[in-house]
Amino acid sequence: MKIETLAITSTTLHDEKRAVIPPIYLTTTYERKEDGTFDKDDYIYNRLDNPNRRMLEKSLAVMERGDDAFAFASGLAAAAAVFQTLRAGDHVILPDDAYYGVMVLAEDIFKDFGLQCTRVNQTDLQKVAAAITPQTRLIWVETPSNPLLKIVDIYALAKLAHQTNALCAVDNTWGTPILQNPLALGADIAMHSTTKYFGGHSDLLGGALVIKKNPILSEKLRKIQKIGGAVPSPFDCWLVARGIRTMPLRVKAQTATASKLAKFLATHSAIQTVHYPFLPTHPHHEIAQKQMQGAGAMLSIEVKGGREAAMKLANSLQLFVHATSLGGVESLIEHRKSIEGEFSQTPESLLRVSVGLEHPTDLIADFKRALKKL
């Protein structure tokens, strides 16, 4: 079945009350049988499992074409769970421009537990190969990357990981399962901040891991999820499932608009550079076209005139709200340097754009008008 159909069939059900859309189970605990026991698939306690989370996890596995899925309270809780499967002395390879929170997890929080970490520019496969040590157990991949939309070769990186007995995990938040399937490209784990395109409406926080058949990894992750307790509430699970039903259509429409906007901005004299994976000027557009069905709804631009011009543009736009986050129905724009702090390598002139569901004509007109004021 196609992804649009799976998005519906995996998130609707016919329960004993014949509800087509699942209700939200706002209960902490579940009654035992008369003899005090539970059957295998019975619910016991909300943190361990609940009907909304079980349904969401089934859908996550279907959407990402995996075998097992784990819902978390946030994208970073999902990422942290992957690091928690490792042991002191294990070595991780991270991209040099990994999502800021993932970098802090690996290089600060888990470092104190003995995790070793090397950051590498993963567009250079030889550098990745050179960074591998006998202790390497995980290659963490993020593509497209934030905020420069660098593209790395998932297939090649997964192959490198497997040659050395390591797993390959891909942060697929920006790619979405609609445009990119890391597991089909050889990766072992697909990670998502479901806060973004899965939820799709900027009204929740959530995370997910989807894996291929791997009983040992599955058991570890399930334990970390249930006992670590960084789980989403039934209501948040319900909201993510609601978002999934329209995700294929949203992502396709937002991608089509982003692609039009990227083309327009690439020709504008006030813009220095447009970072968008399918533009022929993008340094990795060939890999992007090989592994993605669309370039996505995120882009970033470097504005001529540095920080001042970038800030002025962000504030002159009327349809793009100056705020962090991405993947919602509303378009957002953000000056990344000022949120990323002192270790940021992001240019001062860079603005990151999350393209929403507004009409492309209106979004382009908004940019035209705002760019005139520079």
Residue 94 or 370: which CB sits closer to ligand PLP? 94
Q: How far is the CB of 30 from ligand PLP (least distance, A)?
A: 28
Cβ-contact 34, 28 below 8 angstroms: no
Of these residues, 53, 196, 212, 352, which one is catalytic?
196
Residues in Cβ contact with 216 at an 8 Å cutoff, skipping those fewer than 6 apart: none
Span from 15-23, 43-51, 68-76, 337-345 in contact with ligand PLP (CB under 6 A) = 68-76
Residue 144 or 371: which CB sits closer to ligand PLP? 144
Residue 174 or 238: which CB sits closer to ligand PLP? 174
Residue 120 to residues 94, 141, 317, 367: CA-CA distances in angstroms? 6, 10, 36, 35
Residue 50 or 74: which CB sits closer to ligand PLP? 74
Q: How far is the CB of 94 from ligand PLP (least distance, A)?
A: 12
Of these residues, 43, 47, 226, 312, which one is catalytic?
47
90 is catalytic: no
Other C-beta atoms lying within 10 Å of the C-beta of residue 71: 28
**71-100 positions binding ligand PLP, by CB under 6 A:** 74-76, 99
Number of residues near ligand PLP (by CB under 6 A): 15
290 is catalytic: no
Burial environment of residue 162 by CB neighbours within 10 A (0 to 12, 13 to 18, 19 or more): middle
Tell me which H or E stretch contains 120: strand 116-120
Give the full edge-to-edge strand order of the sheet including 350-354.
271-275, 298-303, 350-354, 332-335, 321-322
Q: How far is the CB of 99 from ligand PLP (least distance, A)?
A: 4
Among 174, 276, 278, 320, interactor with ligand PLP by CB under 6 A:
174
**Nearest of 208, 201, 125, 213 to residue 163 by alpha carbon:** 125
Among 12, 24, 101, 266, interactor with ligand PLP by CB under 6 A:
101
**211-250 positions binding ligand PLP, by CB under 6 A:** none
Residue 171 or 366: which CB sits closer to ligand PLP? 171
Tokens of 76: 């970073």
45 is catalytic: no
The Cα 194–Cα 200 span in angstroms is 8
Q: How far is the CB of 191 from ligand PLP (least distance, A)?
A: 8
Binding mask 191-210 for ligand PLP (x = CB under 6 A): --x-xx--------x-x---
Of these residues, 53, 68, 97, 99, which one is catalytic?
99
Span from 155-163, 190-198, 283-291, 350-358 in contact with ligand PLP (CB under 6 A) = 190-198
Residue 197 or 271: which CB sits closer to ligand PLP? 197
Other C-beta atoms lying within 10 Å of the C-beta of residue 172: 28
Query: How big is the chain by its Cα radius of gyration, in Å?
Result: 21
352 is catalytic: no
176 binds ligand PLP (CB under 6 A): no
Binding mask 135-154 for ligand PLP (x = CB under 6 A): -------x---x--------
Cβ-contact 334, 364 below 8 angstroms: no
The Cα 314–Cα 176 span in angstroms is 26
Q: How far is the CB of 236 from ligand PLP (least distance, A)?
A: 11
Burial environment of residue 269 by CB neighbours within 10 A (0 to 12, 13 to 18, 19 or more): exposed
Tell me which H or E stretch contains 84: helix 75-84
Give the full edge-to-edge strand order of the sheet including 136-142.
68-72, 207-211, 189-193, 167-171, 136-142, 91-95, 116-120
Tell me which H or E stretch contains 5: helix 3-9
Residue 59 or 366: which CB sits closer to ligand PLP? 59
Among 173, 181, 273, 291, interactor with ligand PLP by CB under 6 A:
173
Q: Which residues are catalytic?
A: 47, 99, 171, 196
- Binding residues for ligand PLP, rule: CB under 6 A, are 74-76, 99, 101, 142, 146, 171, 173-174, 193, 195-196, 205, 207
